[in-house]
Amino acid sequence: MTEFGLPEERVKLLANIAEMYFREGKNQSEIAAVVGMTRSNVSRLLKEARESGVVQIHINHPINENQTLAQQLIERFNLIDAKIIDVTQFDELLPKLGRAAGKELIKYLRPGCVLGTAWGTAISATVDQVEMKIPIPGIKVVQLLGAQGAHIKEYDGHAIVRRLEEKFGAEGIYFHAPFFVEDSRMSELIMQSKSIEEIVEMAEEADVALLGVGSIDIDHSSYYLAGYISKEEILAIQEEGVVGDVCAKFFDSGGNLVNHDLKDRMIGIPAKVLMKIPVRLGVAGGLAKVEPIIGALKGNFINILVSDTATAVEVLKRTQN
């Protein structure tokens, strides 16, 4: 049995008929003549293909951009660009942010450029939506943070790089180290290893970085939800004024870097290397990300923002002089 719960030969039949109908544009009568069955049988098989998941229909609704809010953000935070999109349903947030960010990312890629990337659900959604109509030769994709663990999820750094390799026909440069270690001494030794030094050197050549904006809210922190830090630890760094992070660089609401013990146990490129990357594209949305976005913008950790209308309105409201 296949993943669709059907025999392999049945799946092949459904896929062949669906391809003729949806890709080649043949009508049901023409397909019936090709495969030697009645038109009504073809109709039933097309229905089965949809219901079984052999055929999945995805509709790309147009993305409505709020250019007024985008321009206000550009002027207030001296950004390169901003894309602010309308989102009416929560389950549309990541796919729509991903589509907008994917289009924005393509604008800054050139032959032979180096693209740095962190990890996270917003970055994963962006990679999902990237569409390359014309190949860009010679792109290198470098991982900016260590890997999450033995079980590679779609939003983990290794998986992000691998998928970008496939999308762009790029060369992937992987950060072969854990993201989180037991103590600062271990972190220091890893960062001094030759292979990691080479990664950092490559990151210093990056032209563009694809970044998420992390929250330290206990209900939304990827570090807490992934089990990297305890509830007590996350409450402790909140007490120190941390509101969010970009590429594991933690900052307060004013955009100032905050030093704490946890930072020294996370493996990734140094803050000074991140800030040297000319284009730092941040993808984040939802009201839980308002304070982290404000900190990221004030600290200049990102200089392009892709977000949603409701979040942008709140960011502008809370940063009025």
pTM of the model: 0.80
The CATH code that applies to domain 67-318 is 3.40.50.1360
Cα separation, 227 vs 113, in Å, equals: 35
pLDDT above 90 for 188: no
Domain with CATH 3.40.50.1360 in the chain: 67-318
What would the mean pLDDT of 74-84 be, rounded to a whole number?
97
Residue 176's pLDDT is what? 86
pLDDT score for 18 = 86
Q: Which CATH architecture has domain 8-52?
A: Orthogonal Bundle (1.10)
The predicted pLDDT at position 182 comes to 80
Q: What is the pLDDT of residues 213-269, one digit of tens each?
A: 999 988 888 877 777 778 888 888 899 999 999 999 999 999 999 988 777 888 899
Residues 6+ positions from 312 with CB-CB distance below 8 Å: 66, 69, 70, 73, 82, 84
Contact of 308 with 93, CB cutoff 8 Å: yes
Stretch 151-176: mean pLDDT: 84
CA distance 177 to 191: 9
